[in-house]
Structure 1
Amino acid sequence: MDTLTPARAAARLLAVRTAVAAPLTVGISAAIFAVASLSPFDPLAAYLGGNYQFATQSQRDAMREAYHTDMPWYQAWWQWIGGVARGELGWSSTQSQPVTTVLVERMPFTLALSGAALLTATLVAILLGCLAGMHRGGLIDRLCTGFSVTFAAVPPFVVSLALVVVVAVGLRWLPASGAAAPGADYTIEGVLRHGILPWIALTVSMIPWLLLTTRAAVVESVDSDAVRAARSRGVHGWALLRGHIAPVSVLPTLALLGTRLPELIAGAAIVETVFGWPGMAAVLVDSAAALDFPLLAALTVAAAAAVLAGSALSDAAAVAIDPRVRMSA
């Protein structure tokens, strides 16, 4: 019989997931190099730009040798793995900078936008989902369900473009793109002001499924024998929601958060592109088109690691919150 406390069970789950994630991440990095090598794009076209068509064959061969684009994918991957082991992520040919510098300059913008949207969407979805589930069939429930069903079918770029047209262009309340005024340095106030619209767009695109999941879990909990027993003891309102409904209803939402992280990453890339947000979206597209292996591998491995970590953390939180939940891997 398993006598582990919830905290120790969650810690063991994280340890197992970490052991599994390490070789899986290495395999993903190899797959990225293999798949990228099948791309029909010639990376020299990105490096040379308009001069590509005027370059002679000998010049192209020299460029391929200089940029190591003539190297087999497995050799390039092994070279990259060796650099990572030494703490060197390589040189980005598309950005003309070390990959580490690109990540340091751009990753904070993506993490701040995605993290703020994820936190806001989770809080709003849990709050509205609990209210809708507690008042099933009422006005709040109908409004929340209608909102969720509508925006679940609307792609993030449509929400983004609508915000640009209405708020930025029509009303002129907020800037339409970037994270600072043209030619100005980044400031906290400027970044926050420029980030409001992309934050709203990404938050709105994430709320629907989280809200519907929370609502369904609350509805199921309200009809359970445990909640009926609590009501018979005189427990109602906030005390009932906090002590008997929310702890159980939040578990499906936590599980969904782990599985929806790829959608968050994809949505963030789309929103960043529409609003010209100086995050990782633009460099990801450039690195894929130009076969910038070091940068492409770093971004893809980081995204895969984030998905694996999110799934593990959501499952560990479920184990820690509800002792009845047991997961071994």
Structure 2
Amino acid sequence: MINNDKKIKPGILYFLKKFAIFVLSVIILSVIVFWISRLTPTDPLQSYYGERTEKMTVEQKAAAREKLGLNDPIPVQYVRWIEEAVRGDFGISYKYKQPVLAVIQGRAGNTIILGGIGFLLTFAGALAVGMLCARHKGSIFDRIMCKAGTFSSCIPEFWLALVLILLFCVTWKILPSSGAYTIGKESSPADRIRHLILPMLVIVLGHLWYYAYMIRNMLIDEEKKDYVLLCRSKGLKRNQIMTRHCLRNILPEYISMMAVSVPHILGGTYIVEMVFSYPGLGTLSYESARYADYNMLMVMCLLTGIIVIFSNMLGQIISEQIDPRVHI
């Protein structure tokens, strides 16, 4: 029993350390975001009161700032925000005049659908393309894919989105250019799919080749190992070796790569949402920064930061399990 306890303790300490680093990172992020947002020249009263701000007297503006707690020193404002956040109260959105979590809840589903499906399609396609290129290494197909993929990965996502809008929405008029659905057709799956096609296409094309090229190179390197020669000597065909052995051996690295790539694809999703005016967390983040919606900005930055930090830590944990030499 004593030996078993000694084996368990390092695992517990390992995850406690990771959890402590995660919490500390989130706290540091919250302090930085809170401090910087308060130093911006944008007036939050304009976001809260709109055009009425221009008609307000100096006394009325001072009273409004006092009501919103903006006259207190920044450290006092931060401590008050933390105390309320711990109780689950993240404040009211200055722009939407609704609880912050209620606004986010109405937008999160759209981003999860767009980013989640885009993420799955990107890595499913990357795995398929990477395997095909590795299987036909040096062929015309492989050379064409490498050159075309390199070219496509260099195209900025916002520019590609604008080109697709010009072709499919303006010139051919076969797909919608913005929004998540047509007004009055919120419950129509077909209409929502039509609105997803172009944003999804931009996300997949913007990331697919980068990961496909990495998978291709991993498979090619795997084929150079000694066990592959042993498999060939036993009469196994190349396709069997690649799918049964090489692919299985790179799966841990593939999963680690998927975890680390979440911030990359999430950032691309946010950009695509803004170009297509897609009502998701990306457009909400932009609006919160533009209109100095402090409460919304804090939650959006923390939510995005938590996803990024967690994904990177997950990728690091997987990498450490694969190769203990990278353990920190």
| TM-score bin, normalised by smaller chain | 0.7 to 0.9
Residue 108 of structure 1 aligns with which residue?
Answer: 109
Residue 225 of structure 2 aligns with which residue?
Answer: 224
Residue 172 of structure 2 aligns with which residue?
Answer: 171
Q: How do residues 32-111 of structure 1 correspond to structure 2 at under 5 angstroms? A: 32-111=33-112
Give how far 1:116 is off.
0.6
Is the contact made by 1:287 and 1:295 (CA closer than 8 Å) also made in structure 2? yes
Residue 195 of structure 1 aligns with which residue?
Answer: 196
Paired with 1:264 and 1:167, the residues of 2 have a C-alpha distance of 24
Q: Does 1:254 align with 2:255?
A: yes
Residue 291 of structure 1 aligns with which residue?
Answer: 292
The CA deviation string for residues 75-123 of structure 1, in whole angstroms up to 9 with x for no partner, is 2222222122212222111221101101110011111111111111011
Residue 241 of structure 2 aligns with which residue?
Answer: 240
Paired with 1:57 and 1:88, the residues of 2 have a C-alpha distance of 30
Give how far 1:71 is off.
3.0
The CA deviation string for residues 40-81 of structure 1, in whole angstroms up to 9 with x for no partner, is 222223334344444321122122122222233322222222
CA RMSD of aligned residues (A): 2.6
- Identify the structure with bigger relative contact order (alpha carbons < 8 Å, sequence gap 6+): 1
Identical pairs, percent? 24
Is the contact made by 1:284 and 1:296 (CA closer than 8 Å) also made in structure 2? yes
Give how far 1:309 is off.
2.2
Residue 118 of structure 1 aligns with which residue?
Answer: 119
Which consecutive residues of structure 1, in runs of 5 or more, have no partner in the other structure? none
Partner secondary structure for residue 40 of structure 2: coil
Amino acid at match of 1:234: G
The CA deviation string for residues 27-50 of structure 1, in whole angstroms up to 9 with x for no partner, is 211111011122122222333434
The CA deviation string for residues 253-276 of structure 1, in whole angstroms up to 9 with x for no partner, is 434333333322221111111111
Partner secondary structure for residue 242 of structure 1: helix
Amino acid at match of 1:27: I
Residue 158 of structure 1 aligns with which residue?
Answer: 159
Give how far 1:251 is off.
4.2
Q: Does 1:205 align with 2:203?
A: no
Is the contact made by 2:135 and 2:239 (CA closer than 8 Å) also made in structure 1? no
Give how far 1:133 is off.
1.6
Partner secondary structure for residue 236 of structure 2: coil
Give how far 1:325 is off.
5.2
Q: How do residues 264-279 of structure 1 correspond to structure 2 at under 5 angstroms? A: 264-279=265-280
Residues 1:104 and 1:127: Cα distance change in structure 2 (over 3 Å): same
Residue 130 of structure 2 aligns with which residue?
Answer: 129
Paired with 1:136 and 1:277, the residues of 2 have a C-alpha distance of 40
Is the contact made by 1:43 and 1:69 (CA closer than 8 Å) also made in structure 2? no
Residues 1:71 and 1:190: Cα distance change in structure 2 (over 3 Å): farther
Residue 180 of structure 1 aligns with which residue?
Answer: 181
Q: Which moved more, 1:211-220 or 1:259-268?
A: 259-268
Partner secondary structure for residue 37 of structure 1: helix
Residues 1:74 and 1:261: Cα distance change in structure 2 (over 3 Å): farther
Q: Which moved more, 1:180-189 or 1:296-305?
A: 180-189
Paired with 1:202 and 1:10, the residues of 2 have a C-alpha distance of 37
Amino acid at match of 1:87: G
The CA deviation string for residues 154-201 of structure 1, in whole angstroms up to 9 with x for no partner, is 111112112211122222222111112135434333222211111111
Residues 1:15 and 1:115: Cα distance change in structure 2 (over 3 Å): farther
The TM-score with structure 2 as length reference comes to 0.88
Is the contact made by 2:134 and 2:220 (CA closer than 8 Å) also made in structure 1? yes
Paired with 2:184 and 2:62, the residues of 1 have a C-alpha distance of 39
Is the contact made by 1:168 and 1:174 (CA closer than 8 Å) also made in structure 2? yes
Residue 304 of structure 1 aligns with which residue?
Answer: 305
Is the contact made by 1:179 and 1:186 (CA closer than 8 Å) also made in structure 2? no
Paired with 1:66 and 1:27, the residues of 2 have a C-alpha distance of 27
Residues 1:11 and 1:219: Cα distance change in structure 2 (over 3 Å): farther
Paired with 1:88 and 1:206, the residues of 2 have a C-alpha distance of 37
Paired with 2:123 and 2:47, the residues of 1 have a C-alpha distance of 40
Paired with 2:191 and 2:18, the residues of 1 have a C-alpha distance of 40
Which consecutive residues of structure 2, in runs of 5 or more, have no partner in the other structure? none
Is the contact made by 1:10 and 1:319 (CA closer than 8 Å) also made in structure 2? no
Amino acid at match of 1:281: G
Is the contact made by 2:47 and 2:292 (CA closer than 8 Å) also made in structure 1? no
